[in-house]
Amino acid sequence: MTVPRFFIPAAAIDSKKGTIVHEDERLTRQINNVLRLKAGDRICLLDGLGSIYHCRMESAGKGQLKASIEQSLKIEEPFQIPVHVGLPLLKGDRFEWALEKLTELGVAKISPIIVTRSVVQADLSSENGGRSKSNKLDRWLTIMKEAAEQCERATIPRLVPPRRFGLFLQECSLVKNSLNLICAERRQATSLVKKLDNDEGLPSPQEIAIAVGAEGGFTGGEVEEAITLNFLPVSLGQRILRSETAAIYALAIVASKYSASE
């Protein structure tokens, strides 16, 4: 049987004593009611910073998990170059679905972006919707954490609160030696696959940023702003993909090109 894996905060780990104590109702409910684990069963706990702890569970009662560490290891992530995806807020469950799939494919950071033609517009004012905004972020983080556990990643991607597209562009443009890409349909844009093929033999970038438009696509002004800030418009082929498909496809192309050979 596969040993179940869970992310826990690094602060819960006492490496000197070889013990882990973590308060989490949701986790202990899952351990007891869903997985039906018993004291003495093996579990793997991850600190989200790249270390995995092979443990024996001691107890999981009253919302508290206790485990003893048998071995700790540093895990090497197979995908080396951090990829930052600017993902638009999307209708229905498409955005959350994309969070899960991007996590599985190794994304390092996701910025939910608000573009002119987004159907979903986040309320960015602090006085309005502060609580519901943080509930949403918690929910999105949980989706990414569970996806990371499921696909056996050692780290959970970073997620920042939704922000205007221009701020995402500015942040990426400040990263040194970053390859910044904007997925632009219906333009004479370079094919992403060809661009990466042509770059073969050149030093790899330190980071890659990928911007994807919402249901209505980017406006001409948004693409121009991105180009001014050093983004390269790229094509993903002749078909017009949904935003979530475009994000996943673009990340998969980049990941297959820059993955460390296994």
Measured between alpha carbons, how far is 162 from 182 in angstroms, rounded to an integer? 18
Q: Could you tell me the smallest distance in angstroms from the CB atom of residue 94 to ligand SAM?
A: 11
Please report, as ranges, the residues that interact with ligand SAM according to CB under 6 A.
183-186, 212-213, 215-218, 235-237, 239-243, 246
Identity of the residue, 43 or 226, whose beta carbon is nearer to ligand SAM in the bound complex: 226
Nearest Cα to Cα of residue 69 among 19, 22, 21? 19
Identity of the residue, 65 or 248, whose beta carbon is nearer to ligand SAM in the bound complex: 248
Identity of the residue, 57 or 236, whose beta carbon is nearer to ligand SAM in the bound complex: 236
Q: Which amino acid is at 130?
A: G
Residue nearest to ligand SAM (CB): 213
Q: Could you tell me the smallest distance in angstroms from the CB atom of residue 107 to ligand SAM?
A: 16
Identity of the residue, 154 or 254, whose beta carbon is nearer to ligand SAM in the bound complex: 254
Structure tokens at 78: 């197979």
Q: Could you tell me the smallest distance in angstroms from the CB atom of residue 239 to ligand SAM?
A: 6
Measured between alpha carbons, how far is 171 from 176 in angstroms, rounded to an integer? 11
Q: Phi/psi of residue 72, each to 5°?
A: -125, 140
Measured between alpha carbons, how far is 247 from 224 in angstroms, rounded to an integer? 20
> Dihedral through CA 178, CA 183, CA 184, CA 187, nearest 10?
70
Q: Could you tell me the smallest distance in angstroms from the CB atom of residue 97 to ligand SAM?
A: 15
Q: Could you tell me the smallest distance in angstroms from the CB atom of residue 254 to ligand SAM?
A: 13
Q: Could you tell me the smallest distance in angstroms from the CB atom of residue 182 to ligand SAM?
A: 7
Identity of the residue, 131 or 186, whose beta carbon is nearer to ligand SAM in the bound complex: 186
Identity of the residue, 147 or 226, whose beta carbon is nearer to ligand SAM in the bound complex: 226
Q: How remote is the C-alpha of 109 from its chain's centroid?
A: 5
Q: Which amino acid is at 124?
A: L
